[in-house]
Structure 1
Amino acid sequence: MGIQITNLNKAYGEHQVLENFCAEIPEGKTTCVMAASGKGKTTLLRILMGLEKPDGGEITGLENKRISAVFQEDRLCENLSTEANIRLVQKGGKGRSRDFLQQLQDGFSAVGLEGWGKRPVKELSGGMKRRAALLRALYADWNILFLDEPFKGLDRETKDKVLAFVREKCRGKTVLCVTHEKEEAEILGAEILEL
């Protein structure tokens, strides 16, 4: 079963961001949320992740789900290595297993970060940090993935590589992605949800 959103309301003071918003986010598919700036895309994601409280409405389908996310800010630990940042989301010793470390190297290659795994995050460019944040979210143990403009700041060639990798890693899984780019939604094979 997917995520059902019924009559969702959220205001900040006098500014009504979401008003009686209803939607169904299908399970096992990628859905891209699109709207003009300031229309509530990030607010919707934050409510679904439990980081904001709605003023009213009902959400079902998130019960007992493990979530992972990429925020608009990268939220990486600057002094840790790129690899260590990604291993942070692993349970137990899984992050040090040979199998996981091989998957991680494959991921680094797929998004153009080969050779940067052992370097501290503070040495990475903005676009490299973006890709590291994406890898961390993808390699977490999740049922639902929330992505808030995950491809911003990437050049065309890099973005194409990253989009292809994300599409492959998310095949058959529930993903909600905020984007301003219809082309990103098409490449991801996503359904579009207009706010």
Structure 2
Amino acid sequence: MEVNIRNLSKAFGNLKVLTGVNLTLRSGNIYCLMGPSGSGKTTFFRILLGLENADSGHTEGITGIKTAAVFQENCLCEAFTPIDNLTMVTAGASKETRKLAKQALLKFLPEESLSRPVSTLSGGMKRRVAIARALWVPSEMIIMDEPFTGLDEDTKRMVIRRILECTKDKLVIISTHQEEDAGLLNGILIKL
């Protein structure tokens, strides 16, 4: 799969956020988007996800692609358990699906946390649920907007190992402020 972005531009009033962005993104790669706050990383993701329209330019190859996302906000159902947050994005919550969701989450969280409402979890644990959910959803492309926010160094490295295990044939785009993250992800660095 290949996604082509051609001359993509976006402004909010007089503030130009993206100007003439040209990229070719291929599945099987992790792309690490870097730039200072306000450089357009989140806006770029919102355009790819169809949540925002570009002022000019276009994308090719993205229509119909199954996409999962981790937003800067976790976007979890706080009253639900981590298992419920995973199974709600798949085709049902059968016993077998719940068992598989639990197995997936055990790679990210201690077992005792899986039956508690997400609202009772720490910020870093919530972040891991959001990442696990994005990896759980059947998809061809995964977009992660600053997924490592709130994670300590050891936890971040564990999460990166899980991302690498789960995304071998997918197109993955991750925004980060740390060049080290791009190195840990074996990612292709893109500066905005």
TM over 0.5: yes
Report sequence identity in percent: 38
TM-score (norm 2): 0.95
How big is the alpha-carbon RMSD for the aligned residues of Structure 1 and Structure 2? 1.3
Task: For structure 1, list consecutive stretches of 5 or more residues without a partner in the other structure.
Answer: none
**Aligned twin of 1:83:** 83
2:94 aligns to what? 96
Unaligned runs of 5+ in 2: none
Deviations 1:136-192 (A, max 9, x none): 111011111000001111011111111111111111211111111112111112111
Q: Which residue of 1 aligns with 2:164?
A: 167
* Aligned residue runs from structure 1 range 110-129, under 5 A: 110-129=107-126
Asked whether the 8 Å contact 1:113–1:128 carries over to 2, the reply is no
Q: 1:189 to 1:97 in 2, by over 3 A?
A: farther
For residues 120 and 39 of structure 1, the distance between their equivalents in structure 2, rounded to whole angstroms, comes to 35
Instruction: State the TM-score, normalized to the length of structure 1.
Output: 0.93
Is 1:148 equivalent to 2:126 in the alignment? no
Deviation at 1:102, TM superposition (A): 4.0
Residue 28 of structure 1 and its aligned partner are, at CA, apart by 2.0
TM-superposition CA deviations, 1:6-46 (whole Å, max 9, x none) = 11110001000111111111222111111111110111000
- Between Structure 1 and Structure 2, how many residues are aligned? 192
Shift of residue 108, structure 1, vs aligned partner: 2.3
Runs of 4+ displaced beyond 4 Å: none
Distance in 2, matches of 1:107 and 1:39, equals 34
Instruction: Verify the 8 A CA contact 2:31 2:188 in the aligned structure 1.
Output: yes
What letter is aligned with 2:20? Answer: N
Question: Does 1:158 find its partner at 2:155?
Answer: yes
Alignment deviations for residues 88-116 of structure 1 (CA, whole Å, 9 cap, x no partner)? 1101x3x4252x44433332222233221
With 113-122 and 56-65 compared, the bigger mean Cα shift is at: 113-122
- The question of whether the paired residues in 2 share the 8 Å contact of 1:112 and 1:158 is answered with no
The CA distance in 2 between the partners of 1:61 and 1:3, in whole Å, is 5
